[in-house]
Amino acid sequence: MTLEDAFDEPAFIPYLAAGDPDFESSLEYVEALADGGADVIELGLPFSEPIAEGPTIQQAIVRSLESGMTPERFFEFVDALDVDVPLVCMTYYNLIYQFGPEDADPVRPFVERAAEAGIEGFVVPDLPAEEADLLRGYCDEYGLDLIFIVAPTTAGDRLGRMMEQVSGYVYVQARLGVTGARSDLSDQTDETLARLEDYDVPKAVGFGISTGEHAEAVVAAGADGVIVGSALVDIVAEGHENGEATETTAERLESLARELKSGALAGAERRPRPADCGAAWARNRPSRASDGAEIHCVAAYENINEAASKEGAMADRLPTGISVLDRVIGGGIPAGSIVLLDASPASQSELFLYELTATRGTLYLTTIRSEQAVQDALGRATASVGNPTVRDIGGDAPLDGANRLVHDLPESSNLIVDVVDELEREDRTRYRTFLNNLQTHMANTGGLAVLHAMKGHEVANRVVSKHMADVVFDLRTSVEGTEVENKLAVPKFRGGAALQETIKLQLAEDVSIDTSRDIA
**Per-residue pLDDT tens digits of the chain, which is 520 residues long:** 788 889 999 999 999 999 999 999 999 999 999 999 999 999 999 987 755 566 788 889 999 999 999 999 999 999 999 999 999 999 999 999 999 998 889 999 999 999 999 999 999 988 989 999 999 999 999 999 999 999 888 888 889 999 999 999 999 987 543 343 444 455 577 888 888 988 989 999 998 899 999 999 999 989 999 999 999 999 999 999 999 999 999 999 999 999 999 999 999 988 654 433 333 333 333 344 443 333 333 333 333 333 333 333 334 788 888 877 888 888 889 989 999 999 988 788 888 899 899 888 899 999 999 999 999 999 888 878 888 899 999 988 899 999 888 877 888 889 999 999 999 999 898 999 999 889 888 888 888 999 999 987 668 899 899 999 999 999 988 877 777 788 888 999 987 666 777 888 776 655 544 444 333 3
Residue 365: burial class (beta carbons within 10 Å; 0-12, 13-18, 19+): buried
What is the torsional sign of CA 310, 315, 316, 322? Answer: positive
Predicted local confidence at residue 181, as pLDDT: 42
Length, in residues, of the chain? 520
Element (H, E) at 120: strand 119-123
Rg of the Cα atoms in the chain: 24
Show the domains of the chain with their CATH numbers.
3-306 (3.20.20.70), 317-513 (3.40.50.300)
d(CA 495, CA 336): 11
- Global confidence as pTM: 0.61
Residue 76: burial class (beta carbons within 10 Å; 0-12, 13-18, 19+): middle
Q: Which residues are identified as catalytic?
A: 42, 53
Using an 8 Å Cβ cutoff, are 174 and 191 in contact?
A: no
Burial 496-513 (b: 16+ CB within 10 A, else e): beeeeebbbbbbeebbbb
| Rounded (10°) angle between helices 55-66 and 230-241 | 50
Predicted local confidence at residue 511, as pLDDT: 54
Residue 372: burial class (beta carbons within 10 Å; 0-12, 13-18, 19+): exposed
